[in-house]
């Protein structure tokens, strides 16, 4: 208890020093923006200065996470962050167990949960202005590069050379039948879902690959459904315009469904039983297994094919795989989120992650309820038809800062402050003295 009380005292002392606190908030914004854009910087270096390998990219991400940890410790860990730290402690234990059982050092699952832990803690230490400013800056940057990509695809490809960068840093070979220099997975194919508005490759913007750009549009959707009444008209305009342009140029299916659900969910979610969002993950898992049994030979890159693939791997896993002994199968699971999570963290880690995502936001206000449902729908729907891209720092940094804000006390403390005109409390209606009752009695006595 002394540890938390001491940090509370230090945090209050820092809050009184306005310039220092402002620097800390700017540091959060810059850290998240670097998480989103460091691959673009490395790609330019790889294309025009020197070769960048996997170790360089990994080192940059490690540095960013260390900076995030130092920033969280500098501001001070608060009692409200205890549940997040307990969540991470579970994965420290599981990572040690999986590494020992497989006789190798395997930290992929731990790395992903560290990103969630660090940025959720930072989000709980941030204020609303910091998070909203971050998203305005991030959206403007993403929109600028998206417009550049759409207007001059050759120039965009020449600047970043995404295909060459991912070949150098991730070992993903360039597409031999394409000479644009783009990441090969951005190339469409006949029969793939498309809005038909843009005929070129799927857009990537700042992220250099199409999946993270689609996920950023989904994160914008979560932001809008969570903070809609609090956002200014200009903020709404820039976020909505960017989100729509991403969807129609990226031809993203999952984000399109999330946006459609959010239109309905804005009014529906607060009327549902609290924490019933916990049912989403089990429902999607059962759906995957059902689709696989109905379409066991479906391999197309569409909803049926992706869902069937996830269902196949879920049913094909051995008992040992559920205890973290299936690392040799990882190369087949990049597009199957649930089997990938179980394989990298064991069934215990998958359950811990499911419960954390479902309960991390206390559902006390309509805004928190909307955010909680949107988050669980984004995470668990993507895990049905996609792989581990939702864990990438490129999008997770901003997302979990937002979740930290929505699950913390700062946003609620501002929202719960009494307005100039407030309704009488239950104590006042019961005839008990309230904060304004004594002055009123004195006024009546004086003017009697």
- Cβ atoms within 10 Å, residue 82: 11
- 413 located within any domain: no
pLDDT along the chain (448 residues), means of 10: 47 45 72 95 93 91 95 84 92 94 89 95 92 96 96 91 85 57 59 68 90 94 96 96 94 89 94 95 94 86 84 89 86 83 93 96 95 96 86 95 91 47 35 36 40
- Say if 257 falls within a structural domain: yes
Q: What is the pLDDT of residues 173-227, one digit of tens each?
A: 654 435 566 765 555 555 566 666 877 788 999 999 889 999 999 999 999 999 9
DSSP label at residue 80? G
pLDDT at 178: 54
DSSP annotation of 171 reads: -
Question: What is the number of H-type helices and E-type strands within the chain?
Answer: 19, 0
What was the pLDDT predicted at 201?
84
Q: Does 428 reside within a domain?
A: no
Q: How many domains does the chain have?
A: 1
Q: What is the pLDDT of residue 414?
A: 47
* 150-159 per-position pLDDT tens digit: 999 989 989 9
Distances (CA, A) of 361 to 40, 129, 364, 376: 32, 19, 9, 11
SS3 12: helix
194 assigned to some structural domain: yes
The DSSP secondary structure of 103-126, one letter per residue, reads TS---HHHHHHHHHHHHHHHHHHS
What pLDDT, on a 0 to 100 scale, did the predictor assign at position 408? 86
Could you tell me if 118 and 172 are in contact, meaning their C-beta atoms sit under 8 angstroms apart?
A: no
Q: Provide the residue range defining the domain that includes 195.
A: 2-402
171: left (phi over 0), alpha (psi -120 to 50) or beta: left
Domain for residue 362, yes or no? yes
Domain assignment present for residue 291? The answer is yes
Residues 6+ apart with CB under 8 A from 289: 311, 314, 315
Q: Does 407 map to a domain?
A: no
pLDDT for the residue 300:
77
Residue 415 within any structural domain of the chain: no
Estimate the share of the chain in helix, then strand, then coil, as percent rounded to the nearest 5.
75, 0, 25
């Amino acid at each position: 208890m002394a540890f938390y009380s001491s940090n509370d005292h230090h945090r209050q002392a820092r809050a009184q020093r306005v310039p220092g606190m402002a620097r800390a908030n700017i540091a959060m914004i810059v850290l998240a923006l670097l998480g989103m854009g460091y691959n673009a910087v490395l790609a330019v270096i790889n294309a025009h200065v020197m070769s960048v390998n996997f170790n360089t990219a990994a080192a940059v991400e490690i540095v960013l996470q260390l900076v995030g940890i130092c920033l969280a410790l500098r501001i001070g860990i608060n009692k409200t962050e205890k549940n997040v730290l307990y969540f991470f402690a579970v994965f420290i234990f599981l990572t040690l167990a999986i590494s020992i059982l497989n006789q190798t050092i395997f930290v992929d699952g731990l790395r992903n949960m560290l990103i969630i832990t660090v940025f959720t803690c930072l989000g709980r230490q941030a204020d609303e202005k910091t998070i909203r400013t971050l998203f305005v800056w991030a959206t403007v940057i993403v929109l600028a590069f998206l417009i550049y990509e759409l207007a001059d695809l050759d120039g965009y490809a020449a600047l970043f050379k995404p295909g060459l960068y991912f070949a150098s840093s991730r070992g993903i070979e360039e597409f031999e039948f394409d000479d644009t220099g783009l990441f090969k997975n951005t190339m469409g194919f006949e029969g793939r879902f498309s809005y038909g508005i843009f005929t070129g490759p799927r857009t990537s913007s700042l992220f250099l690959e199409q999946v993270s750009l689609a996920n950023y549009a989904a994160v914008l959707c979560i932001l809008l459904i969570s903070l809609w009444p609090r956002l200014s008209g200009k903020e709404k305009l820039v976020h909505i315009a960017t989100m729509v342009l991403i969807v129609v140029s990226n031809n993203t299916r999952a984000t399109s469904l999330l946006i459609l659900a959010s239109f309905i969910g804005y009014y529906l979610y607060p009327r549902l039983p609290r924490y019933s969002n916990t049912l989403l993950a089990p429902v999607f898992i059962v759906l995957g297994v059902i689709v696989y049994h109905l379409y066991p030979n479906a391999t197309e890159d569409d909803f049926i094919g992706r869902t069937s693939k996830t269902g196949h791997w879920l049913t094909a896993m051995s008992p040992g795989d559920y205890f973290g002994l299936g690392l040799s199968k990882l190369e087949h699971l990049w597009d199957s989120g649930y089997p990938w999570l179980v394989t990298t963290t064991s069934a215990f880690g998958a359950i811990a992650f499911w419960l954390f995502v479902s309960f991390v936001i206390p559902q006390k206000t309509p805004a928190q309820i909307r955010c909680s449902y949107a988050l669980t729908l984004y995470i668990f729907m993507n895990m049905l038809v996609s792989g581990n891209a939702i864990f990438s720092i490129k999008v997770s940094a901003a997302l979990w800062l937002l979740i930290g804000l929505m699950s913390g006390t700062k946003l609620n403390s501002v929202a719960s402050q009494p307005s100039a005109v407030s309704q009488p409390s239950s104590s006042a209606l019961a005839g008990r003295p309230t904060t304004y009752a004594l002055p009123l009695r004195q006024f009546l006595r004086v003017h009697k």
